[in-house]
Amino acid sequence: MTDKVAAIQMASGPNVGANLIEAGRLIGQAVDAGAKLIVLPENFAIMGMKEQDKVEVREEDGKGKIQDFLAQTAAKHKVWIVGGTIPLVTSDPKKVKAACLLYNDKGKVVARYDKIHLFDVSIEESGEKYNESSTIEPGTETVVVDTPFGKLGLAICYDLRFPELFREMIDKGVEIIALPSAFTAITGKAHWKPLIRARAIENLSYVIAAAQGGFHVNGRATHGNSMIVDPWGNILNHLQQGSGAVIAEIDRDKLISTRQNFPALKHRIISCRT
């Protein structure tokens, strides 16, 4: 059984309304190409001038401009949408959850994943400093959900560097990993492609990696190179820079046969038990 899927690449700015219009346009491109599962990038609705900007546009779980857009768009096109990240309220008025919501083809939320690993780093080469924990409250639970395309796991950007998260997904039966991201230009150039291929190969899973890609109003540059990778690590399609929709077919029967013929995941379970 094959299905077309899409990774949306954007260069989002500080205006939520403008970003939603652009996301809608790109989702429309993906729908026209036949995609039934569409993944938006991290921070698709806002890349603010400062980190606190996303707190200012935070939404209650279940209502708000961004969530209404995703629900209505999924229902309109009869597609499943992985809603990148959405700033949702927490008990701390100075912080949000970086929430990734999965909408079904009726526009209903069927899963929510809150970003676990927060990007608190300094990049010596460029002088960039990031401190996501100052405005984001981390999640605690891995998420894998049944979909018509297979068992879908949700992860976000910096999560990619922590293989143990994806091993927890394997324990929950994951077959496809959706990875909304906004890798920096420098870290992306060094690590993006090898990390995505590694997660696909070691977990014998498809990876749909949707990235921010380009120069942003706030002066930040993101790596882009959104891609869809198969369980053998082959890059099925990618987009280096700029806005667009990366389309590819995923084949669940191929995934199953690959795991049967190369049963590394079963070997891992046996070795862990002995």
With H, G, I as helix, E, B as strand and everything else as coil, classify residue 36: coil
Band of pLDDT at residue 273, cut at 50, 70 and 90: low
CA–CA distances in Å: residue 117 to residues 139, 141, 154: 8, 11, 13
**pLDDT 10s digits, 130-184:** 999 999 999 999 999 999 999 999 999 999 999 999 999 999 999 999 999 999 9
Q: How many angstroms separate the CA atoms of 244 and 240, rounded?
A: 10
Nearest to 114 by CA among 89, 94, 150, 80: 89
What pairs with residue 28 in β-bridges? none
Q: How many CA atoms lie within 13 A of 244 on its CB side?
A: 14
pTM for the structure as a whole: 0.97
- What is residue 125's predicted lDDT score, i.e. its pLDDT? 81
Looking at the structure, give the CATH architecture of the domain made up of residues 2-273: 4-Layer Sandwich (3.60)
**pLDDT 10s digits, 42-86:** 999 999 999 999 999 999 999 999 999 999 999 999 999 999 999
Q: How many angstroms separate the CA atoms of 26 and 84, rounded?
A: 14
Active-site residues: which are they?
42, 115, 157
Tell me the two tokens of residue 45: 């609705």
